[in-house]
Amino acid sequence: MKKRLDQLLVEKELFASRSKAQAAIMAGQVYVNGQKSDKAGKLFSADARIEIKGNLCPYVSRGGVKLERALDEFRVEVKDKICLDIGASTGGFTDCLLQRGAAKVYAIDVGYGQLAWKLRQEERVVVVEKTNVRHLVPENFYSRYSLPACRLPAGRQGKARPITHYPALAVVDVSFISLAKVLPAVYSLLADKAEIIALIKPQFEAKREQVGKGGIVRSEEIRSEVVEKVKTEAKAVGFKVKGLIQSPITGADGNVEFLLLLTKGDIISL
């Protein structure tokens, strides 16, 4: 009986999970009977000769590779920081943050049961599932997870003191929704001068008529328009745009993606 390629890879103990197997398949690292196979759902017999070529993804999903490049290019320091991972899914971004020394990562996602098992067992990870970040109220969210209240008591000068225990770094990878609808909530959840790395997925930012067959935005002009639109929306929220790079790998469907670096401004004195 023939089975899916990703299933065979797990059964042959070449990968710990189907998500990891799928990542390697999409990266072009899996060869079956001497031929590269880039379709996770393609059926093969159990006795098919399978080879893995190239360096395997060091994270639970390909997302970690994208974030790794952004952290390096933008020179963002992760060590000892409290972080938010918005749209955590399998946990590629979370895994990357942990490997960079994050003190704590809040892995937030609207879905359930997607986060990799090894990350669920990690004491530095706070799993927040079935949660839409747009509905989070900072005071309620952080009190629930044992962080200080939103605003610290005023100092001797009567001015608000910086919030030092709120996350200093957020990473965002959301699907089927525009970043414009998520960034205001992210802004409210972060500390003063926090940094944000957001993955721009053109197919979810462009107009419906601008997205081609298979959900792919092929026009470089449209991709540029989308990037500028996201920048403008981020500035309107209060973020400062600090950097932009193209993702080192495409999305799962083949879309060219971008990583945007934002910073949150100072807290306004009372």
Higher-confidence residue: 138 or 181? 181
Angstrom distance (rounded) from CA 211 to CA 208: 6
pLDDT tops 70 at residue 80: yes
Q: What is the pLDDT of residue 78?
A: 96
What is the dihedral angle through the alpha carbons of 63, 65, 66, 70, rounded to the nearest 10 degrees? 140
pLDDT tops 90 at residue 69: yes
Q: What is the pLDDT of residue 268?
A: 39
Higher-confidence residue: 252 or 46? 46
Angstrom distance (rounded) from CA 7 to CA 76: 37
pLDDT tops 90 at residue 188: yes
Higher-confidence residue: 74 or 192? 74
| All structural domains of the chain | 3-52 (3.10.290.10), 63-264 (3.40.50.150)
* Rounded average pLDDT over 155-182: 76
DSSP-derived secondary structure for 129-181: -S--GGG--HHHHHHHTT---SSPPP-TTSPPPP--SS-SEEEE---SS-GGG
pLDDT confidence band for 12 (50 / 70 / 90): confident
Over the stretch 116-155, which tens digit does the pLDDT of each residue have? 999 999 999 999 999 999 999 888 888 787 644 334 334 4
Angstrom distance (rounded) from CA 14 to CA 161: 52
For residue 61, give the DSSP letter.
S
Angstrom distance (rounded) from CA 208 to CA 13: 41
Out of 34-43, 52-61, 128-137, 172-181, which region has the weakest mean confidence (pLDDT)? 52-61
| 128 Cα distance to chain centroid | 14
Higher-confidence residue: 22 or 172? 172
